[in-house]
Chains A and B, each alone.
Chain A
């Protein structure tokens, strides 16, 4: 009987140690990440970055995304929902983190669309049709081009614009900024420069709510 208690005690002790160590490690990591962003706050957004929402809003969500990333696709409507919930108080800045093979091509299409003021329409279409052009992580950009054509986008202009060396520079800058800020996974969110302590929609929602409450 005494032996059984010893075992149960040991198991409880190990579980407790694990949870406490995980908590300490995570809070320490969040602190390091926050410091990293504070030191490199210039890298958060650039004048060329696509924006949505009131430019005067006091809460800014910066999202590093990859058009071929499934989780980014799932977060897309949720982030738009957040913008609608806090209309006028929250705006969104998109940065590119083309981590999947072939994503740099897709990202260049997006920035070319930004030039025509069509960024958000093309991003919506990209995420909507993602299973068809990004299936099995084997990107088929030509499939997406047929969608662009079918939905009446100016494909000729897009093809011309995306080869602009300026766009290449923009994508490289975004990749460099992402690495600087530790945005190694997609999507990575920064809300007024604060990273999520743990990844998840609930965490994103509550951090945005906190920032709104603190600023309005």
Chain B
């Protein structure tokens, strides 16, 4: 039997991932966008230099010009420089918080689905209730209490609240996988519960974990930006959210300073668009019903 001849089983595993995913144009577009923003954030600072970050470095509230392609804000900072320096911290919040949320979610989801019983009742109960409560509301209260002064702390708080979504998805998949023959064989051949969960079941769930991670990353960035728009984020590190916070606080829209609020908004639109495309492609991979019929 050659590769890919077995349509049903071919959908599982990394062999299938390697075959199907690179052909998905949504995934390629999404990855290209996100990688492009990453390059902007990592290469950009060395190109533009930190000069534009200081107050009054350039003219105040200048529209785009040759010297300042994205113009300047009312404090005289260069918008392009702010954008470029804010990229990596913004993405860091997303990846850190998304990673924490997904990590906790995967562990709890596996425990809930595999161990079942009271453990399942508690985890599932908490997760089901938690997803009905608007996260931003809890975040507002929490960040106001903790007074987040670092992006890492904010990311941790956001991440700690993000686990119920992935926990529910992973639990559902674990429930079906635990009934498979290979789990029986693994138990029989002497593997303990943790080995079964993490060595036998988890590798089968990697496409779901990836899809869940991407969703959690964009969710975390939304939450972070939301908090910052409310003035609850750290103000010591430049981020896209902080740019927007100042832009709206000081009336960028009513003052017609489109170059102030436009670039960070466009940045977020691109970022969410890219992450959304990746997540849709991964979803389609892990849930074959959503996949378009492949040409034979």
The answer to whether A and B come from one shared complex is no
Chain B interface residues (CB < 8 Å from chain A): none
